[in-house]
Amino acid sequence: MTTLLILTATAIGLLTLAAWWFRPIVQAVAADLAVTPAQRRPVPPGLADPDCGIGATLMAAAASGPGASGSGGGSAPAAPKKPKRKKPTGPDRRAFLRNSWLLSMGGVLGAFGAASLGFLWPRLGAGAFGANIDLGPEEDVLSSIAEGGGRFEFPSGRLYMVQYNAANDPDGQYEDITNGASVMAIYQQCVHLGCRVPWCESSRWFECPCHGSRYNRWGEYEFGPAPRGLDRFPVTLTDGNVFVDTSTIVTGPTQTGGVLGEPAAGPNCNG
């Protein structure tokens, strides 16, 4: 939708620019069309003779000119008036071609720029990554986590929700990202090289298919080349509703800094 709006605005802008650019040509054509037959310039007398061709006219002009031999010194007949060349009122052909080329290039670059902007513009809809996402009542989120076997996936926010029990975190390591809520939000992006990390049903861990990193249910490091646990998003409770601020990424715990870990429930998916 944003892309469509930007492209429409660009098209309107280009059409306006083109209309302004070609205005002198349009005015010149209109001025030509406005001349009536009575206003047209009279044809020079020599050229008006139907029996006289261009060659004959030129010879007559040469014979009657001031330097002509055998003129006898008398008053020379008036030379036929040269037709005046009409001064062009619009841009000449070279300028027209140059302007057309510049206009075309401007149009192409403008359309490309608008399309790129539309593609890169952040889509901060209510539930999109980058926004403060309202996931609804906390009890509903907890139900969804239980139904999902230990996690609830929210793809448009690129996050997983897992249950958080403060009693299992006596040092309060995750207090500042849960803010009193019973849930925790985990970023789906692998901290090794950025692949999306899927949930493994059999182990109930998050296991990266790219290079084999594994994280437990709370996104803490368990195995593989990842330098730490998965990153998180801060959660807040407002009127009982869970909000996840996906504009703020909190670095995950170190490889040995996990406190909620539990062994795999079954075979690993990427093993």
Tokens describing residue 61 = 């002009």
DSSP state of 229: S
Q: Which residues pair with 185 in a beta bridge?
A: 161, 233
**Which one among 106, 107, 127, 224 touches ligand FES, defined by CB under 6 A?**
224
Q: Is 213 in the site for ligand FES (CB under 6 A)?
A: yes
Give the residue with the Cβ less far from ligand FES, 183 or 230: 230
Give the binding range for ligand FES (CB under 6 A) out of 10-18, 46-54, 206-214, 232-240. 206-214
Helix residue ranges per DSSP H, 64-214: 93-120, 138-147, 175-178
Q: Is 211 in the site for ligand FES (CB under 6 A)?
A: yes
Q: In which residue are the tokens 């939708």 written?
A: 1
Give the residue with the Cβ less far from ligand FES, 183 or 228: 228
DSSP state of 253: P
Q: Is 204 in the site for ligand FES (CB under 6 A)?
A: no
**Which one among 195, 250, 259, 265 touches ligand FES, defined by CB under 6 A?**
195
Give the residue with the Cβ less far from ligand FES, 190 or 244: 190
Q: Is 45 in the site for ligand FES (CB under 6 A)?
A: no
Minimum Å gap between C-beta 197 and ligand FES is 6
The answer to whether residues 200 and 262 touch, using CB atoms and an 8 Å cutoff, is no
Q: Is 193 in the site for ligand FES (CB under 6 A)?
A: yes
Q: Which residues contact 181 (CB under 8 A, 6 or more apart)?
A: 138, 164, 235, 236, 237, 242
Provide the pairing of β-strand 214-215 with 132-137. unpaired
Give the residue with the Cβ less far from ligand FES, 23 or 196: 196
Tokens describing residue 179 = 């803010």
The answer to whether residues 223 and 132 touch, using CB atoms and an 8 Å cutoff, is no
Give the binding range for ligand FES (CB under 6 A) out of 10-18, 90-98, 106-114, 223-231. 223-231
Q: Give the binding site for ligand FES (CB under 6 A).
A: 190, 192-195, 208, 210-213, 224-226
